Amino acid sequence: MKKIALALTAVLGLAASGAQAQNYPTRPITMIVPFAAGGPTDVVARIVTDHMSRTLGQQIVIENVAGAGGTTGITRAAQSQPDGYTIMMGHMGTHGAAPALYPNLRYDPTKDFAPIGLAAGTPILIVARKDFPAKDLKGFLDHMKANGDKVNMAHAGVGSVSHSTGILFNSIIGAKPTMVAYRGTGPALNDLMANTVDYMTDQIVNVAPQIQGGNIKAYAIATPERSPALPDVPTTKEAGLGDYQVSAWNAVFAPKGTPPDVVAKLNDALVKALSDENTRKRLQDLGGVIPAPEERTPESLQKLVESEVARWTPVLQAAGAKAE
């Protein structure tokens, strides 16, 4: 009797979830973007969901819940119903650097999510004020060895992409510049252009226009290949610092416990969006790097998150950085 009941529940359960997934989505989906509207992650989210909405037949509504380096929004999204109607755009900070920066973090990037897939990454560049003495990355490293204590590095605030990637860069080259914090990339770039600070690392979408306009100079791009937006900027490998490979990736997650078929549907919509010519072009115009087909699966995203947490934690802890 017990066995029959069990079997029945199992069948019913399967049928129920099957029916749910077959119909999914029947109403609009909310995507929580843990940053302010208009930022790089928000822009990627809006471009990708624009196409995903068409595949799913339901609108994906963006809700910006900014705060605490993105962890406020991700905490809320992680605690929402795992029914596929609340998803989120996580990124390098919220699902990589956050455990080291926020000791009281109320989620575990490796355990509390159902990964959907990688959306797009933006490469990181090493940039300096235009009349900084060093001509190339090698000259820069030499300069840092000789005058490292006189150099000022700008970043966009503790917990920002430019802060984490900057600390990684400094730890690799063994530099200890004076760190100057700004509230966001805009003011930091402003002072870099005004020669008030010396160098910084940041996402291509933020710095490319100023490099093209000759207001600042770029030493290297931290990706395996050069960017079509900046063909003259060498990769870190070409410039002799292959160890510095970093990208501000953005990826779609659902809360833990989201049914596998719902995850599959969302992943399918994401993959279709990333294969769409127009969507690809819009992302690439921003300097975005679109993941290769094998990097678009939930499994590879889970691996990425695990490797990122393992990579950032020691680097940031050694630098004594925390956002609390």
Q: Which residues bind other proteins (CB under 8 A)?
A: 36-39, 42-43, 46-47, 50, 62-68, 72, 101, 104, 152, 157-159, 178-184, 186-187, 189-191, 193-194, 196-197, 205, 208-210, 212-213, 215, 282, 285-286, 321-324
Q: Which residue has the tokens 């596929």?
A: 84
Cβ nearer to other proteins, comparing 119 with 263: 119
* Residues making up the chain, counted from first to last: 324
Least separation in angstroms between CB 285 and other proteins: 5
Cβ nearer to other proteins, comparing 208 with 239: 208
Cβ nearer to other proteins, comparing 18 with 209: 209
Cβ nearer to other proteins, comparing 137 with 179: 179
CA distance 75 to 269: 24
Q: Is the peptide bond before 99 cis (omega within 30 degrees of 0)?
A: no
Q: How buried is residue 302: exposed, middle or buried, by Cβ count under 10 Å (0-12/13-18/19+)?
A: middle
DSSP state of 289: B
Least separation in angstroms between CB 193 and other proteins: 6
CB atoms within 10 A of CB 112: 17
Least separation in angstroms between CB 215 and other proteins: 6
Least separation in angstroms between CB 310 and other proteins: 21
CA distance 236 to 137: 8
Least separation in angstroms between CB 143 and other proteins: 18
Contact assessment for residue 33 and residue 64, using Cβ atoms and an 8 Å cutoff: yes
Quote the tokens at residue 243.
């160890």
Cβ nearer to other proteins, comparing 155 with 296: 155
